[in-house]
């Protein structure tokens, strides 16, 4: 029922203050309902201190008295202006800590959703009678990714609105109960159409290989498919228009998602999304951390010492991790990037086919015809540049599988061992900066940063050149060329 993120968004714009009603003020003896605080002062009455006690409910028909200390709520600018009115002998702003201690305001804020086809849609706040029936104060309205703080009584409600309301737990329980009863229109028209739940906001973007790209928001129906709402889209440095239903999602879009915490948590494992603001998880169990570190170190050392190939050592290490309880099978499965596994598994036969059909030898021959006479290093440079250019359109994992047989054939033609050239294309594929498609990290920042494809080219190409020069300088020192043993 609570929405911590939405509360924090509103908190930056809302302030509270205690004002003391002055002697001789025309408000003395007026009912709070008739005092029209919203019209006169642009604030709402939240509570009244009288006879050493706070009154926070059923305020509409409370008559005001001189000396009453009134808790009011409004936009920061409006609250700051209160001390200028002669109706109040004092106006004291309250800190967040004072609010929590004296009024327990955090426990009085809830989110209520207005369904699309509710009869309250098209009604004004005043006509909704939320304040009259349940003593609810609408603090903010969240609609189409936009936040309206302290809406006025003539604000028209729309289907899909999220209302941040202030009220009592008991009243909210009554409101929920009305959903199962026939509504007495004389008392509370259409309130049974309201839903309430615990809501959280989360930022996400589409994965570079997401199946959702190109589909409209209406087609995807986030509420039915995921149990959440798409509250807004940020694209190329700005928000997309309010009508999202016909908007087609694009790679790099930043999505503002709103829904129950548990539903949003499931998206962390969805291959179509990259999460920009991960939700809080249970703190990790660190009791077996030393054991896990020892297993990982043993795997690395066994490979470095040549006792076992990396594939065997890694599988053995993972098995020991599960057997010793460092992680369970569900966590192990979830940690595997199955898309990368299937992508590489699908590309390996292509690499084998390139070797068996002579395609790799043909492409290597073209490289040799162009650069072979200049020596091995120009050939390696050419392969590096070819790989770096290909990262703009081909995912890194697939590209390395495609380039490997070409490099092997080229090095075999020159009678050289392939390690140096293979390391060169590995670095070229890893240093893929010139396209958002080439690496998940690139697409992760595209939407939130408002970047376009051309921005990656502008920054990525110079950065690629810098890495190219660095690799060509260090490679001969760390991986010198060596002939194939005769």
Query: What is the per-residue pLDDT across 380-416, written as a single tens digit (0 to 9) for each?
Result: 998 898 888 887 777 777 778 778 888 888 888 888 8
Q: What pLDDT is recorded for position 291?
A: 92
Q: Which residues of the chain have pLDDT under 50?
A: 1-5, 177-198
- Would you state the pLDDT for residue 470? 94
Are 199 and 6 a contacting pair, CB within 8 Å?
Answer: yes
Q: Three-state DSSP class for 91? A: strand
Given this model, what pLDDT does residue 146 score?
Answer: 67
Helix (H) or strand (E) holding 125: helix 125-128
Phi, psi dihedrals of residue 26, rounded to the nearest 5° = -65, -10
pLDDT score, position 192: 39
Distance CA 357, CA 344 (A): 20
Q: Residue 216: its pLDDT value, please?
A: 86
Rounded distance between C-alpha atoms, residue 396 and residue 378, angstroms: 23
**Nearest of 14, 17, 11 to residue 72 by alpha carbon:** 17
């Amino acid at each position: 029922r609570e929405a911590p993120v939405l509360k924090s968004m509103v908190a930056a714009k809302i302030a509270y203050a205690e004002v003391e009603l002055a002697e001789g003020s025309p408000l003395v003896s007026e009912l709070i309902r008739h005092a029209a605080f919203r019209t006169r002062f642009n604030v709402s009455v939240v509570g009244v201190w009288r006879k050493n006690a706070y009154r926070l409910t059923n305020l509409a028909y409370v008559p005001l008295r001189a000396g009453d200390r009134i808790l009011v709520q409004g936009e920061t600018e409006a609250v700051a202006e209160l001390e200028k009115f002669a109706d109040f002998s004092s106006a004291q702003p309250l800190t967040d800590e004072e609010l929590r201690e004296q009024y327990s305001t955090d426990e009085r804020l809830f989110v209520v959703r207005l369904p699309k086809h509710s009869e309250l849609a098209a009604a004004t706040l005043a006509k909704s009678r939320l304040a009259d029936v349940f003593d609810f104060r609408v603090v903010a309205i969240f609609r189409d990714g936009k936040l309206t703080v302290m809406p006025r009584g003539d604000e028209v409600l729309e289907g899909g609105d999220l209302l941040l309301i202030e009220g009592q737990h008991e009243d909210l329980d009554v409101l929920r109960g009305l959903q199962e009863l026939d509504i007495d229109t004389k008392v509370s028209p259409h309130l049974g159409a309201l839903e309430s739940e615990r809501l959280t906001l989360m930022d996400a973007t589409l994965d570079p290989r997401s199946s959702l790209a190109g589909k409209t928001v209406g087609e995807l129906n986030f509420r039915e498919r995921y149990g959440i709402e798409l509250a807004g889209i940020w694209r190329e440095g700005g928000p997309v228009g309010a009508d999202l239903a016909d908007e087609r999602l694009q790679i790099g879009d930043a999505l503002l998602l709103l829904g129950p915490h548990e539903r949003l948590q499931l998206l962390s494992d969805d291959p179509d999304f990259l999460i920009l603001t991960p939700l809080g998880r249970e703190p990790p169990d660190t009791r077996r951390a030393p054991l896990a570190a020892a297993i990982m170190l043993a795997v690395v050392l066994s490979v470095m010492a040549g006792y076992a190939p990396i594939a065997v050592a890694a599988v053995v290490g993972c098995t020991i991790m599960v057997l010793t309880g460092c992680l369970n099978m569900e966590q192990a499965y979830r940690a595997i990037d199955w898309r990368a596994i299937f992508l590489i598994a699908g590309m390996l036969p292509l690499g084998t086919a390139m070797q068996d059909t002579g395609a790799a030898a043909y492409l290597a021959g073209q490289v040799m015809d162009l650069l072979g006479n200049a020596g091995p290093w120009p050939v390696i440079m050419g392969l590096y540049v070819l790989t770096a250019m290909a990262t703009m359109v081909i995912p890194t994992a697939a590209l390395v599988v495609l380039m490997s047989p070409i490099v092997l054939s080229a090095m075999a033609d020159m009678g050289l061992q392939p390690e140096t050239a293979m390391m060169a294309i590995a670095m070229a594929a890893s240093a893929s900066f010139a396209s958002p498609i080439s690496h998940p990290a690139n697409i992760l920042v595209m939407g939130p940063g408002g970047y376009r494809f051309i921005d990656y080219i502008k920054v990525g190409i110079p950065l690629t050149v810098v890495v190219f020069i660095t690799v060509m300088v260090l490679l001969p020192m760390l991986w010198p060329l060596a002939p194939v043993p005769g």
